[in-house]
Amino acid sequence: MPIESEPQAISVVVPLFNEERTIDSLFASLVVQTLRPREVIFVDAGSTDRTAGILEAFRAPFPLRILRRGRLNPGEARNEGTREASTDWVAFADGGTELVPSWLFELERSARTTGADVVFGTHDPTCDTFFRRCAALAYVPARGSQGIRGPFVGSMAIRRGVFWKVGGFPEYRAAEDLIFLENLARTDARVAYAPNALALWQTAPSADTTFRRFLAYSEANLWAGRARFWHLGVARQYAVVGSVAFAFAVAGQAALAGVVVLTWMAARTLRAGLAKRGSFPFDTLGPGYLSGAAGVLVIIDAATACGALRWAWKRISSRSRGDRG
């Protein structure tokens, strides 16, 4: 395919659910894009806060479209926005992010100069508080060889034809992006990267919001049939470490049992600190951040277990109701 020399028209699709606290900053970052989008399509996925009203008040130098489709999961909302787009290319942004001014320009330039069908930008986590820096160390990936933190659908541009060839996003609450990317990899779509197409992503700001977020992710991943990619790995680690610690405790070596657990947790966080050194604007090997990241990992592990229990209870309850019927 010949490389196009003129900028390509791109629609930006943004799924939203209860983003009244973040939508202003996202919209402000869209307005100052150095490459003007052909249109921005906000898909309000059943918000129960002030999101819809805030959207109605927005004014921009490009067409704004607001789609209200009732309660949808993120992937379903992206599908709806893509279906309504008027251009051959769509770019996805997410609520809870801010886009650097050159975001869309970088995505479009990479697509145009490489002849790609899909372009992935990247994201950086907000690191404005101690907790968020610890969270970044705990679960945000480092930048890889392409200069991005792994494919991120919240900073991506794709030809609509390729999008529908992949089948769009599945309906799951979480893991829909991973399933989409796996399906994309099975096609012959040409992929390019734009490491300067940066979305600033707000991680959960506190322990309780982190727990709630990963509780929902955990349950949704199980409904999506993704246990082997997350839950089984966590369970194996706890099974091994727990067995060793239990053996020491039974042998009357409670102190050694505690050492085993602490050593394992220290190894997890130290490995993360080494792997992500230079990826964030703070010292990832700082003792305070390593300790804080360990605490965040414990919160995530607890949320993972609780999400699995909630999934199991709903599954059993559903089968029981079916048996009674």
From the CB of residue 237, how many other CB atoms can be counted at a distance below 10 Å? 13
Q: Coil, strand or helix: which one is 120?
A: strand
Task: Copy the structure tokens of residue 218.
Answer: 């955990």
Interval 263-282: pLDDT, tens: 999 999 999 999 999 999 99
From the CB of residue 303, how many other CB atoms can be counted at a distance below 10 Å? 20
d(CA 22, CA 273): 29
pLDDT of residue 324: 47
Residues of the chain with pLDDT under 50: 1-3, 324-325
- Class of 10-201 in CATH: alpha beta
pLDDT of residue 126: 92
pLDDT of residue 8: 85
Could you tell me the residue ranges of all domains in the chain?
10-201, 207-324
pLDDT of residue 69: 84
pLDDT of residue 323: 53
Nearest CA to 295 among 234, 217, 208, 201?
208
Task: Check: CB of residue 75 under 8 Å from CB of residue 169.
Answer: yes
pLDDT of residue 320: 76
pLDDT of residue 6: 65
Task: Check: CB of residue 142 under 8 Å from CB of residue 279.
Answer: yes
Q: Where are the alpha helices (H) located in the chain, listed in sequence order?
A: 23-31, 51-57, 74-84, 103-114, 130-139, 160-166, 176-185, 207-223, 231-250, 254-275, 287-324
The secondary structure element, H or E, covering residue 15 is strand 10-16
Task: Copy the structure tokens of residue 189.
Answer: 């779509």
Alpha carbons within 13 angstroms on the beta-carbon side of residue 19 total 24
With helix as H, strand as E and coil as C, how does 265-306 read?
Answer: HHHHHHHHHHHCCCCCCCCCCCHHHHHHHHHHHHHHHHHHHH
Q: What is the pTM of this model?
A: 0.90
Contacts of 66 (CB under 8 A, 6+ apart): 41, 42, 44, 52, 55, 56
d(CA 14, CA 90): 10
Strand partners, 125: 201
Task: Copy the structure tokens of residue 100.
Answer: 């650097």
Task: Check: CB of residue 69 under 8 Å from CB of residue 169.
Answer: no
For residue 200, how far is the Cα from the chain centroid? 12
d(CA 209, CA 219): 16
pLDDT of residue 70: 86
Task: Check: CB of residue 112 under 8 Å from CB of residue 3.
Answer: yes
